[in-house]
Chains A and B, each alone.
Chain A
């Protein structure tokens, strides 16, 4: 599904984000806070590094036998009275939800925050089918009111300041609300309370699904997830297949590092474990539980170059530390998943061609790899992605020609030093005060930065005097 934002080339989308003062302010405040909170959380967890290694090992081992664990999960969910659906594509996943809505006369669905449903653009599909989706996570609620998309994996409205949210609520909810988070939260809570009671269906994602117990796990902070999974008569969970983990013991490992990485909490405020629908004699819970296990480009990557991206817990830590994300925010990336991991996930879901520009939206600084709870080597994978683009001739021909020429210079000291002499001659009109302030063809650099000129004598030339 193509987004109108993609009609603008990525560098221009990024440029526009840089000029958005509100966005810049919001991003700096929020990402700095997340970085500090995460740092503090791990500083008080001496076993943090060992847990991260363990978590990575669990993900690696689970993917080796993904079919086994998925079948075990499906069997257990069914044994508990739930229904399991297999979706090969985003379209199939959407169609399963829509069919359930049709067959069960669903008019309204409340949703807990879920990137998987964002990935399949479920809200648009529901609206199109006459079902009203209501996002109940505060951040998601804000962006739904604003008719926007999430710009961060865990903080969907990170791009908005509280003043902007107050204006939005005042306009959309017909009132005069102060730019005070407590006031605004109370407004949302009041609006949403009714929806929970009216809705026929609750839709969630799943942070994990435990194979040997059939447990779906939701990690949230607002309690809305618990209402979505217990109040409406039908609960539908949409989950990427890679989210399955073998056992509850494994779950403990992930829970110890997920919230710490995401928000710096030891645990999120709510960890909701769902085992099947309401059983005979129980007073609470949905009558029906449906689990949709979605592939959508994932499984073929088990043996692919993007394999490690399947370990991702969606904590968002790599976004917070990424110098590029911190400057341009999530929307400029143009796809469901932003930030460094988002580039890899976009390649996985939408194909290599879609990340032709995005693959280069990284300085390869490695901060993402450093904070990733499962140590995904994002910089290395971005380099491999670039390699694919070059090999597949998706990278523009002039770029391939330019780097080919660079390689010839690097292979020949004679050419290398001849080019230095040519450069020294060509730069002459542009050097002043020992600096190159403007250089035709290098405008990308010299518009904002000076360049050091090619030295009057290179080190190779000076070595003749130094050698002894």
Chain B
């Protein structure tokens, strides 16, 4: 069998704020025998523009992202929301240009959020990892309701021998991030977050895992401000191991 080739879509938050997540993702993919590349010229998927209603701007960003990944066999994204953006919104945004639209549809078909890539494309449910600790999982809205995925991340977490997965009460409820929502209505965003943090702490987990940079920024930012001992980590970091709590 020839090795699977995957291109990393790092996402803006992943590139600038959480590069360790990208590094962990590369580690995990290589451990599974995937040939990884990182197409140059990546910025942001344009979702902040799209969600705020700037659709012409978002379409320009989408068009260039489609070109960046034109040659990719598979595209793996460490974020449910960016994967959702590419998969469900790009074709519509680029509908006025037939060739671009077709390219966007091809990209949509080849793009997967990390946990879905591992389980659906590679058929993996166990990743060798030396991670040890009590873990609770937060469903990010776009991965859960946008892409309909709740199982893959949990399956992968359970597959790590040192992980004790504790179900988070209200795991499917929003953390209050919502992109620009978090700064347009910071008090409401924080009130929603407070409920999430209380649930996280009630699980007595060592770390909170999510598959989205936005949620990790929000929940991690809240935990750290509270001086909580719970750490917010990306699924890739658990699967890569080496980061003991």
Contact = CB atoms under 8 A, between A and B. Distances in A.
Interface of A: 11, 14-15, 18, 323-324, 327-328, 359-367, 369-370, 383-391, 395, 399-400, 403-404, 406-407, 409-413, 416, 420, 423, 435, 437, 442, 444-445, 447-455, 457-463, 466-467
Interface string B103-116: 00000000000000
Nearest to B145: A366
B16 interface: yes
A451 B177 CA distance: 13
23 contacts: A15-B187, A324-B188, A360-B52, A362-B178, A363-B141, A363-B182, A365-B174, A383-B51, A384-B53, A385-B53, A387-B54, A400-B54, A403-B54, A407-B49, A410-B61, A411-B64, A420-B15, A445-B182, A449-B193, A457-B19, A458-B19, A466-B23, A466-B26
Contacts of B176: 323, 363
A458 B173 contact: no
B50 to A, nearest CB: 7
A369 to B, nearest CB: 7
Most buried by B among A323, A367, A370: A323
Interface string B39-81: 0111110101111111101101100100000000000000000
Contact of B52 (A370, A403, A416, A442): A403
B146 A447 contact: no
A377 to B, nearest CB: 11
Interface in B177-226: 177-193, 217-218, 220-222, 224-225
A11 B172 CA distance: 26
A452 B217 contact: yes
A451 B221 contact: yes
B91 interface: no
A411 to B, nearest CB: 6
Contact of B186 (A383, A447, A452): A447
Contact of A390 (B18, B42, B52, B61): B52
Most buried by A among B15, B38, B146: B15
B184 A360 contact: yes
A455 B19 contact: yes
B185 A420 contact: no
| Size category, B interface | 35 or more
Q: Please provide the 8 A-B residue pairs with the shortest distance between their CB atoms, ordered closest to farther.
A: A363-B178, A386-B53, A449-B221, A365-B174, A387-B53, A366-B145, A407-B57, A459-B19
A364 B16 contact: no
Given A367-B145, A451-B217, 5 more contacts: A403-B52, A404-B54, A406-B48, A411-B64, A423-B16
B interface, over-half SS: helix
A200 B16 CA distance: 70
A382 to B, nearest CB: 9
A323 B174 CA distance: 7
B153 interface: no
A435 B225 CA distance: 9
Contacts of A455: 16-20
B213 to A, nearest CB: 9
A interface, over-half SS: helix
B60 A407 contact: yes
B10 interface: yes
Contacts of B14: 459
Given A327-B191, A369-B145, A452 B17 contact: yes
Contact of B187 (A14, A420, A466): A14
A459 B15 contact: yes
A364 B51 contact: yes
Contacts of B193: 448-449
Most buried by A among B183, B187, B218: B187
A403 B43 contact: no
Contact of B57 (A369, A389, A395, A403): A403
A452 B224 CA distance: 10
A393 to B, nearest CB: 12
B84 to A, nearest CB: 10
A383 B178 contact: no
A467 B178 contact: no
B141 A410 contact: no
Contacts of A410: 12, 43-44, 46, 49, 61
A10 B192 CA distance: 17
B185 A11 contact: yes
Nearest to B144: A366
Contacts of B182: 363, 444-445
Contacts of A448: 186, 190, 193, 222, 225
B41 A413 contact: yes
